[in-house]
Amino acid sequence: MLKLLLLLQLYCNQSGIDFMQQNALIPHHRKVYEILRSHITDGVFHEGDLLPSENELCTVHKVTRPTIRKALDRLANEGYIVRHQGKGSIVKGIPKGIGILSLSGTTSAIGQDNLLTHIVVKPEIRNWSEAFTFPLNLQEIESGCIYLERLRLVNNKPVFFDITMIPNINLPRFTSRNFENKSLFDILRKNYQVEVKGGEQKILSIVADEKLKDYFQVGSGHPVLQLNRKIETNRPGFYIYSQVFCNTDEYALYGTF
Amino acid sequence: MLKLLLLLQLYCNQSGIDFMQQNALIPHHRKVYEILRSHITDGVFHEGDLLPSENELCTVHKVTRPTIRKALDRLANEGYIVRHQGKGSIVKGIPKGIGILSLSGTTSAIGQDNLLTHIVVKPEIRNWSEAFTFPLNLQEIESGCIYLERLRLVNNKPVFFDITMIPNINLPRFTSRNFENKSLFDILRKNYQVEVKGGEQKILSIVADEKLKDYFQVGSGHPVLQLNRKIETNRPGFYIYSQVFCNTDEYALYGTF
DNA sequence: AATATTTACTTGTAAATACAAGTTGAATGA
DNA sequence: TCATTCAACTTGTATTTACAAGTAAATATT
């Protein structure tokens, strides 16, 4: 009897459906973090601004200081803000100097303003057996993958072309979403609670093939940067695979270590 | 009167001297973090081990749970441990982040066994005004730089060619040292107490010029990876500049993030 | 014996409270 | 007027308390 309940709950959790309510399960500190973070990335707060004090944030969000502090801890840790004892928290903007090399996605590396995304191949479900030389396990192969191709323009020049493959596990209605000019990782984080934890990558230099010559509008023998990456998430065993090609004529990849 | 006291305190703080006592100022959660961290790096705890429970750590370190949790938060954030609700905290070992992309030097990335180093240009003192697009400050320009070029062979195949430029500041007898098959950063660390703290880099894809074609023994139009890096050290204001070219035909650059 | 249930752990979230310590500007004194 | 002091902020640290939620093994039930 109880077993059935547990199974039901398990099913709901895996489907991304919350058992009772959508909001009730998301902890307050995470909620506050999301709000403040989006306020920084969306330009409500600008670089150099003084964030509302912790006590002010308490009254606004109707939580206590430890909760607010946990949200601010994370923001500071990720480089969105810098805190000064006695003064307050100063907005630092979208963390830069992280770059595509040490982070996931191109959006956070470039800054959303001058980045345009064109979906070459809309998300569709495919079979796969390997992902850019990264081996797959049985569960990944059996569940198939969500496949999409994107061309990304920086200042109206095509700079990135990437192929993304995501295991088709517990991502309801994913293929029917609109991805144009949206961050893939933002969608995964906000709608499916999938967060990137880290990953591994292989980088090499190649010459553009016909496809890339076409996309990047370059001539024969043009050198292109290739990144094969396997990205870890907070879901155990759930990896995102992506292959990024980059025309480094005008924009070199930048990173810190 | 009070002003003098404040100035004294400021001086002490800046000099790394604590005002009254050494230990009193270090917060407990940081102390606990340091202890647990060293226990992991020194092998007291091994990968897969279950850490003592939070309550056990409380009694051992004579602090309360929020304090312990703050230490564990940081350990988890940095990848030393993984926490599981209901189970406990599992040791994950020393966080990776190896590879030439996230670390300095090729030696530590490849493993010293199959790496041979040939010095193309022996260390010599030169003038400089910029370093691979990185701007220099006045002190750096005035003191000149130690310049060297190396060709590095992995399994007897030339894979890396790098140019290194180091400010000629307080590095006695550096140019007369023997660098063949030795790690540059090891020499700096052991003989000059210079330790690498981090850095920034730009990565791009180029075609081999005549020089690189010769070094890598490749044909015309061969793609080559180029890394321009500015490396921070523990000496404030002391940076090492290096430009690495890499033939990724057989060995892709590997990194974690 | 196989299956539920309970129990005793674990970590996760959250509040209320208190004081320490850094910063800033207004009030106060010479 | 000028320097000092003070008061009112800010963030930093730490405790205490409480309950929620996940895990696993012991226990009770069928």
More confident residue, B36 or A183: B36
Residues A159 and A78 in one domain: no
Residues A126 and A197 in one domain: yes
Q: Which of A67, A91, A115 is the last residue of a domain?
A: A91
In-domain check, residue B210: yes
If you ran DSSP here, which 8-state letter would residue A111 be given? -
CB A147 within 8 A of CB A223: no
Average pLDDT over residues B21-46: 84
Q: Which of B91, B113, B128 is the last residue of a domain?
A: B91
Q: CA A110 → C1' C18, Å?
A: 45
In-domain check, residue B257: no
Residues B133 and B201 in one domain: yes
For the record, the structure tokens of B81 come out as 């441990």
Q: Name the domain count of chain B.
A: 2
In-domain check, residue B18: yes
Residues A239 and A113 in one domain: yes
Residues B28 and B153 in one domain: no
User: Residue A49: pLDDT above 90?
Assistant: yes
Phi, psi of B10 (to 5 degrees): -60, -45
* Predicted local confidence at residue A8, as pLDDT: 42
Q: Which of A206, A91, A214, A197 is nearest to A151 (CA)?
A: A214
CATH number of the domain bearing residue B76: 1.10.10.10
In-domain check, residue A254: no
In-domain check, residue A6: no
Name the pLDDT band for A5 (thresholds 50, 70, 90): very low
CB B48 within 8 A of CB B88: no
User: Residue A112: pLDDT above 50?
Assistant: no
User: Residue B85: pLDDT above 90?
Assistant: yes
Average pLDDT over residues A45-64: 95
Domain that holds residue B137: 99-246
CB B175 within 8 A of CB B123: yes
B53 touches chain A (CB under 8 A): no
Residues B20 and B104 in one domain: no
The predicted-structure confidence for B176-225, as pLDDT tens digits, reads as follows: 888 776 788 888 988 888 888 778 888 999 999 999 999 999 999 999 99
B224 touches chain A (CB under 8 A): yes
Q: Where are the alpha helices (DSSP H) in chain B?
A: 2-14, 28-41, 54-61, 65-77, 99-102, 107-110, 138-143, 184-192, 210-216
Phi, psi of B224 (to 5 degrees): -135, 145
pLDDT-above-70 percentage for chain B: 82
Q: How far is B29 from chain A (nearest CA, A)?
A: 14
User: Residue B4: pLDDT above 50?
Assistant: no
CATH number of the domain bearing residue A176: 3.40.1410.10
For residue B74, give the chain A residue with the closest CA: A77
Q: Which of A128, A133, A165 is nearest to A146 (CA)?
A: A165
Nearest CB neighbour to B203, from listed A206, A221, A253: A253
For residue A197, give the chain B residue with the closest CA: B257
Name the pLDDT band for B13 (thresholds 50, 70, 90): very low
- The residues facing B256 across adjacent strands are A200
Residues B17 and B113 in one domain: no
Q: Which of B44, B69, B91 is the last residue of a domain?
A: B91
Q: CA A40 → C1' C29, Å?
A: 46
Q: How far is A202 from chain B (nearest CA, A)?
A: 5
Name the pLDDT band for A105 (thresholds 50, 70, 90): low
d(CA B57, CA A2): 35
Residues A119 and A65 in one domain: no
SS3 B197: strand
In-domain check, residue B197: yes
Residues A78 and A115 in one domain: no
User: Residue A125: pLDDT above 90?
Assistant: yes
Contact (CB<8Å) B203/A103: no
At a 7 A CB cut-off, the residues bordering strand D are: A 13, 25, 51, 53-56, 65-66, 69, 72, 83-89; B 1-3, 27-30, 62-67, 70, 84-87
Pairing of strands A239-246, A134-135: unpaired
Residues A142 and A238 in one domain: yes
Name the pLDDT band for B16 (thresholds 50, 70, 90): very low
B78 touches chain A (CB under 8 A): no
The predicted-structure confidence for A184-206, as pLDDT tens digits, reads as follows: 888 888 788 888 877 888 899 99
Q: How far is B134 from chain A (nearest CA, A)?
A: 13
Write down the pTM of the prediction: 0.69
pLDDT-above-90 percentage for chain A: 47
Q: Which of B86, B10, B18, B17 is nearest to B50 (CA)?
A: B86
Average pLDDT over residues A167-193: 83
Return the C-alpha torsion angle B133, B134, B140, B144, nearest 10: -30
Residues A53 and A166 in one domain: no
- The residue assigned the tokens 């700079």 is A159
In-domain check, residue A253: no
Contact (CB<8Å) A207/B224: no
Residues B108 and B208 in one domain: yes
The DSSP line for A163-228 is: EEEEE-SS-TT-TTS--TTS-HHHHHHHHH---EEEEEEEEEEEE--HHHHHHHT--TT-EEEEEE
User: Residue B106: pLDDT above 70?
Assistant: no
In-domain check, residue B253: no
